[in-house]
Amino acid sequence: MIITNFKTYETATSDKAFSLAKIHEEVAKETGADIRVAVQAVDLARISHEVDIPVMAQHIDPVTHGSATGHILPESVQLAGGKGVILNHSERRLKREILEASIKRAKEVGLVTVICAESPEEGASFLEFDPDFIAVEPPELIGGDISVSTSQPEIIEHSAKLIGSEKLLIGAGIKNGEDVRIAKKLGAQGVLLASGVTKAENPKAVLMDLASGL
């Protein structure tokens, strides 16, 4: 599995987000790889309905229909065509009780949950909430040029032991197929990345390389 987080990059906003998502769709069809995108809330409905790969939200709130101005309603994500959600990213950390409630609400509407953790130990502590996937991302490597696969492979091995390979995703500095191959070999189901694709001069070539690592 490859999940690209579009964040709020200028290259992954509005029409550019749609174009980038279409490239992900092309690569998924050409390679057979499980490729997903996590897009901004205002882009989610359009991309979900026009791109034939799973589209995820970057956040939801543990609210229900009613008085919750400015929050992201899980039902709205599901009705807009969203298939999942990223929660507790290092740029949007949640208090533990909010995270638990958000996972519960996501499950109630059928959204796949990808929960971010800063360490193997923190990731293992989230198992009690029964998320679908836990993405371990050392914060010091996020958005950088050094991948966790090459610089700290022991983190992947330790995460697999604590969390279990069936739920484990790896992120932080992932850039190429070799990073994906290492992550898979050491026990991860796949990878979560952002700038390696969203800032690439040739996103399709990068995605093809990443997919080769699966």
Out of 24, 59, 89, 158, which one is annotated catalytic? 89
**Mean pLDDT score, 194-208:** 96
Contact by Cβ (8 Å): 206, 176:
yes
Out of 24, 137, 140, 154, which one is annotated catalytic? 137
Lowest mean pLDDT among 169-178, 195-204, 205-214: 169-178
Tell me: pLDDT of 144 over 70: no
How much of the chain exceeds pLDDT 70, in percent? 99
Number of domains present in the structure of the chain:
1
- DSSP secondary structure letters along 19-60: HHHHHHHHHHHHH---EEEEE-HHHHHHHHHH-SS-EEES--
Residues 96-119 pLDDT 10s = 999 999 999 999 999 999 999 999
pTM of the model: 0.95
For residue 154, indicate whether it is catalytic: no
Closest CA to 44 of 70, 11, 6: 6
Separation between Cα atoms, residue 191 and residue 82, nearest integer Å: 19
Tell me: pLDDT of 143 over 80: no
CATH number at residue 81: 3.20.20.70
Contact by Cβ (8 Å): 155, 121:
no
Average pLDDT, rounded, for the chain: 95
Find residue 116's DSSP bridge partners.
Answer: 135
- At 142 the pLDDT is 72
Residue-number span of the structural domain to which 111 is assigned:
2-212
For residue 89, indicate whether it is catalytic: yes
Closest CA to 7 of 146, 197, 134, 161: 197
Tell me: pLDDT of 71 over 70: yes
